Amino acid sequence: MRHARQAVIVAARRTLVAPRGGALAQFQADELAAPVFQALLKEAGVNADRIEQVVMGNALYGGGNPARLAALRAGLPVSTPAMTVDTQCCSGLDAILHAARLIESGSVDCVIAGGMESFSRSPIRAHRPRTSDEDLIPYNRPPFAPPPFNDPELAEAAFQLARKRGYTRSLQAAYSVESHKKAQTRSAKDIMARELVSLPGINLASDPFTRSLSLKTALRARVIAGDEEYGVCPATTAVEADAAAAVLILERHRAQALGFQNALTIEDGCTLGHDPGLTPEVPIKAVAALCSRHPDVDPQTANIELMEAYSSQAMAFVDALALDPANVNVCGGALSRGHPIGASGAILVVRLFSLLSDRFAQTANLHAAGIATIAAAGGLATAALFKACRL
């Protein structure tokens, strides 16, 4: 009888997350990812030649194949294929789900997957002239939806959401303050210490953006989108950042044969499209759809890691699904560390691996579940379900 194939995560690591132009500014995206790959292999005791595929998300490089650069830089064999996934903010989580599906299909048994981003070293963007008398036309972001679709700046969309739901600037700031508080707890720091990979010349033990943010300080920040009542400001927006994160995924029976005892199963993934003008709200629909396929999973008790792009977006998610905000991003979210676009979804999974591993060890709860979810410009969102398991 042939056993069903299942993808399981046996190791998960990341770099620290540093704001654009900060501690990691000298590293290219592949230079951030390579040490993460090496740390995964060392922690798991898996030889580099066992890796059959590398799948990494990246959003800002706009060409080339940085996953291949990272694989070669990490010392993986030249025969190891690598592919880069670009679904913007969803890239890192989508890369992990793609790797899981490769394993489930029988194509491979051992994959490194995740995401990497360097805002600091990303290419300068410009449109090529159509005629010889035109100049280059620089741009900060590409279009995410063509006319006649609405394609707002994401900060503007976050403001519109705040106004629609009545989230004042004070309420948004309070949510951001709480994210920073969660990230400064002893348990959060202990978990982070296990996640982080050291980088050459970097002597930081935690994400440097996290700070003791007061409500008064948050409210002093200038409004960048909207009005004085419901507007979005830097304190309620995840800062642009640099980071890399990845997981080692094995086929379950292969993991057992290699001696692993505990792991995280990749149970399911859901990617949805919606109105491009309502991007901040799409994770609500993605998680609802995911949970409808798994009635045994209660989002009220599951560990949920949500990408906090904006306070209003995170607040709407919590309210729409009737969640306890204390149970969402229990160790702080992107508002307190930053948003390294292509890496952010993978960072959520690394955090779930840490949280569920701890929960499993403490309670031996075979039903310990976690959900990671993230939105992407253009009206997209991905949600994925994970469970702690004994192999």
| Predicted TM-score of the model (pTM) | 0.96
The residue from 233, 339, 367, 389 that is catalytic is 339
Q: Rounded to whole angstroms, how far apart are CA atoms 154 and 28?
A: 25
Q: Is 89 assigned a catalytic role?
A: yes
CA separation, residue 365 to residues 62, 194, 202, 359 (Å): 43, 21, 37, 7
Radius of gyration from C-alpha coordinates of the chain: 20
Provide the angle, in degrees to the nearest 10, between the axes of the packed helices 91-105 and 341-363.
Answer: 60
Q: Identify the pLDDT of residue 2.
A: 45
Tens of each residue's pLDDT in the chain, 391 residues: 345 899 999 999 999 999 999 999 999 999 999 999 999 999 999 999 999 999 999 999 877 899 999 999 999 999 999 999 999 999 999 999 999 999 999 999 999 999 999 999 999 989 999 998 999 989 888 999 999 999 999 999 999 999 999 999 999 999 999 999 999 999 999 999 999 999 999 999 999 999 999 999 999 999 999 999 999 999 999 999 999 999 999 999 999 999 999 999 999 999 999 999 999 999 999 999 999 999 999 898 899 999 999 999 999 999 999 999 988 999 999 999 999 999 999 999 999 999 998 765 555 555 589 999 999 999 999 999 999 998 8
Q: Identify the pLDDT of residue 314.
A: 98
The residue from 3, 89, 233, 367 that is catalytic is 89
Q: Rounded to whole angstroms, how far apart are CA atoms 10 and 175?
A: 33
- Which letter does DSSP use for residue 298 in this model? -
Q: Identify the pLDDT of residue 360.
A: 59
Domain chopping of the chain, boundaries? 7-122+237-390
CATH architecture for the domain at 7-122+237-390: 3-Layer(aba) Sandwich (3.40)
124: three-class secondary structure by DSSP: coil
Q: Identify the pLDDT of residue 63.
A: 77
DSSP 3-state percent helix, strand, coil across the chain (nearest 5): 40, 25, 40
* Nearest Cα residue to 365 out of 357, 373, 374: 357
Q: Identify the pLDDT of residue 1.
A: 34
Q: Is 233 assigned a catalytic role?
A: no
Q: Provide the terminal-to-terminal Cα distance of the chain, rounded to the nearest Å.
A: 19
Q: Rounded to whole angstroms, how far apart are CA atoms 23 and 389?
A: 36
Preceding omega of 234 cis (within 30 degrees of 0): no
